[in-house]
Amino acid sequence: MNIGKMLVAMAMVLILSPFNVLASENPMLVRIDLTGEMDIVNLRGIDIDIQVVKADYAEAVVYPSDLEKLRSRGLSYAIIYEDLVAFYRSRNPLALDMGGFPTLSEAIDIMDSLAATYPAIVSAKWSIGSSWEGRDLWVFKISDNVNVDEDEPEVFYNSLIHAREPAGMTWILHFAGWLCENYTSDSVASYIVDNRELFFLPVFNPDGYEYNRLTNPGGGGMWRKNRRPGDGVDLNRNWGYMWGYDNYGSSPDPWSETYRGPAPFSEPETDTVRQFIVSRDFDFVINAHTYGEYLLYPWGYDYFYTPDQDFFYMVGDSGSTLTGYAHGTAWELLYQTNGDANDWCYGEQVEKPLIFAIAPESGNSYDGFWPLPSRIPEINAEMLPFGIYIAQLAGVIMGLHFDYPAGVPHTLIPAQQTSFDVTVSGVRGGEPVWGTGQLHYSVDGGPYVTIAMAENQPNEYTATLPALNCGSVIDFYITAEEVTVGTVSDPPDAPATTYSATPVTGTVETFNDNFENNLGWTTEIIGATSGYWERGVPVNDPNWDYDPVTDGDGSGSCYLTQNQMGNTDVDNGAVRLTSPVFDLSDGGIIEYYYYLYLTNTTNGVDILLVEINNNGGIGTWTEISRHDTNGSLDWRHHTITGADLSLAGVTPTFNMVIRFTANDADPQSIVEAGIDGVIVTKYECDQPDQIPTLSEWGMLILALLLLAAGTIAIIRKRILALKDSAK
Ligand code: 0X9
Ligand code: ZN
Ligand code: CA
Ligand code: CA
């Protein structure tokens, strides 16, 4: 080829290339080292296509021109596959269509054949709207009486919102097929089909999926977004809840892989699915993605948990058991995302009620987007229990909420019964059964006694604790019945965790430190090279996001692990903060605020350990709490009760000391801690026993028995005497 022809050819390439120059480069897979402490922070600052984040590395799909971004941030990386598409293609030597995954038209055929084979339980597919290029978004339904809209819990399973994630489609189709094939023969499949309404959208982004077939008919295509003319939009950044919240969770740049589009729901695909979701009444939406072995739930948009974190955690935990995947919010496990489907499903509550949304990322990091064909059935099998679990759970998410208008008593008047009000209401569609409220209590570690609570109004009760003497402790919990799920307790894991109370004649705040003055705390460095405890008003460095913005109790000052500008966290060891002596000899509680930001939460390696000593700091220290979950940039409040102390085997004395140790066991992670508002409330109880104790009762009963026996003996003698005289 002569120079002239070459120039013409190059010009053609440039003109024909529909996007920016990146499109002509090969995507590669890199593994980025995260063992340097600032690596995770630096990685969050760049817009690259991250797939998995593990404790000490991340994997991302990058173009040659992205490598400079990594280098400029001081991140080191290894190239795993220089030509990722070629690698994916090499896994498909038989040149199967789309690497063994159904093509768009094959997916449509599967829907048609399911409906034809199982017409009693599978609906004919219908189009809920169409894509940029005019392709239909096909949905089908599985249920008994499938053409009737029955009053049954509903779940929506959708996949291929990202065009290169076909393993999401195969597992939801496989789950649908499993229900059909096992209906009537398997009790679980039958139960689900008879009692739920399941809706499936296997190809959310048909244009993107077809585009991948066009460029890579044998699979391996790396297109992610839709096909909006120009550069396409990431359909999982285009939803209208917290859309464009910041530029970390989505991008304003059209060429970015996470381009959020010009406006919320600007894309026909997202707008169509939004209207479909609003038209139904889903308990759960499963947004199937690949890959990385995660189960992700909201929020994605910032470092917060939803008000339903406990519920999501419970579902995630069960999901983990079933799949082996890690569960958590997107920011905990991967990165922030804004404008995504999960956040809209849960967060948007004007057009529709909140919906529990979960995004499973199926397949491991070796599977990638285009797994070996032989892995497709394996991924289907590993996701099946999760699909089943969510379908079952949809009908039984109902819970109860227990409310205590005047609080739950921690202290009691000696020798007097204590009553408190309990209001029971339904959450997540739950319905309390009237008259089922019960109080369960155990005195001084004795067996549990169950008594009905007095019901004043439907679901409004008064619980009454028995009279106790000074020195006794009562543990208690509440239960009530929910119509569908049965008995619900508060605390939820009772009797493992309970409320407890003790008789008190007075309380005295014997210690109250808001850290405005030096009350005699001491600090120690145990191997750490930075992040030493310091008292002061938080400096709040705008460039170091991991310290608290304010103190915990609102007075201004607190203790922090190094309160200076810049990277100031604990490294290479531990730092310890020890209190002055306080008095708990008559019982009482210890309260404190703590702040904890951790980037490594695996196996509790990085922790804030709280220990207690009852001998002025000399001798044994006992662990009393261990904080090892990320606090989502918030202060949290913690109370140590008398029951906690007795559980830990610590006898309260007048010579108590508490200490807080922030430990960086993994020196490459961030550990930022704070302590504030430490209050010790001492209980006093100085009233002689008025209620007979158990042994006293015993004596009394014995005395009565003796008395009765004596009386009987006398009566008997008299009768005998009368009989004698009658002779
Ligand atoms: O980034 C995404 O859209 C999803 N990951 S993927 O690699 N398949 O692109 C994750 C979305 C998770 N979102 C929330 N948990 N909110
Ligand atoms: Zn995805
Ligand atoms: Ca303070
Ligand atoms: Ca710090």
Q: For 627-638, what is each residue's pLDDT tens digit?
A: 988 877 889 999
Q: How many domains does the chain have?
A: 5
Indicate if 499 and 515 belong to the same structural domain.
no
What is the β-pairing status of strands 607-613 and 622-627? antiparallel
Indicate if 65 and 121 belong to the same structural domain.
no
Indicate if 243 and 255 belong to the same structural domain.
yes
Q: Which ligand 1 atom is the nearest neighbour of the CA of 296? A: 15
Residue 39 has a CB neighbour count (10 Å cut-off) of: 22
d(CA 326, CA 313): 11
Classify 407 in phi/psi space as left (phi over 0), alpha (psi -120 to 50) or beta: left
pTM, two decimal places: 0.83
CATH number of the domain where residue 461 is located:
2.60.40.10
Indicate if 523 and 582 belong to the same structural domain.
yes
Return the ligand number nearest the Cα of 536.
3
d(CA 573, CA 667): 7
Does 296 contact ligand 1 (Cβ within 6 A)? Answer: yes
Indicate if 622 and 679 belong to the same structural domain.
yes
Indicate if 234 and 370 belong to the same structural domain.
yes
Q: What is the mean pLDDT of residues 594-606?
A: 82
- Judged by DSSP in three states, 29 sits in strand
DSSP 54: -
445 C-alpha vs ligand 4 centroid, how far in Å?
A: 43
Indicate if 130 and 267 belong to the same structural domain.
yes
Mutate which of 337, 355, 367 for ligand 1? The one with the most ligand atoms within 8 Å of its CB, which is 337
Tokens of 257: 């892989």
Q: How confident is the model at residue 18 (pLDDT cuts 50, 70, 90)?
A: very low
More confident residue, 2 or 554: 554
First and final C-alpha spacing in the chain: 147
644 C-alpha vs ligand 2 centroid, how far in Å?
A: 44
Structural domain of 37:
5-90
Return the ligand number nearest the Cα of 519.
3
288 C-alpha vs ligand 1 centroid, how far in Å?
A: 9
Indicate if 189 and 325 belong to the same structural domain.
yes
563 C-alpha vs ligand 4 centroid, how far in Å?
A: 5
Lowest-pLDDT range of 83-97, 479-493, 543-557, 596-610: 596-610
Judged against a pLDDT cut of 70, whether residue 22 lies above it is answered with no
Q: How confident is the model at residue 158 (pLDDT cuts 50, 70, 90)?
A: very high
The percent of residues above 90 in pLDDT, for the chain, comes to 78
Could you tell me the sign of the dihedral formed by the alpha carbons of 548, 550, 553, 558, in that order? Answer: positive
d(CA 361, CA 369): 10
676 C-alpha vs ligand 3 centroid, how far in Å?
A: 5
The reported pLDDT for the residue numbered 15 is 39
Indicate if 291 and 270 belong to the same structural domain.
yes
Indicate if 675 and 711 belong to the same structural domain.
no
Indicate if 241 and 379 belong to the same structural domain.
yes
Indicate if 273 and 305 belong to the same structural domain.
yes
What is the β-pairing status of strands 411-412 and 499-503? parallel
Judged against a pLDDT cut of 90, whether residue 191 lies above it is answered with yes
d(CA 333, CA 460): 42
Return the ligand number nearest the Cα of 670.
4
The reported pLDDT for the residue numbered 727 is 52
Judged against a pLDDT cut of 50, whether residue 613 lies above it is answered with yes
Which of 90, 119, 134 is where one domain is finished?
A: 90
Ligand 1, atom 12: nearest CA belongs to which residue?
A: 330
Does 432 contact ligand 1 (Cβ within 6 A)? Answer: no
CATH number of the domain where residue 43 is located:
3.30.70.340
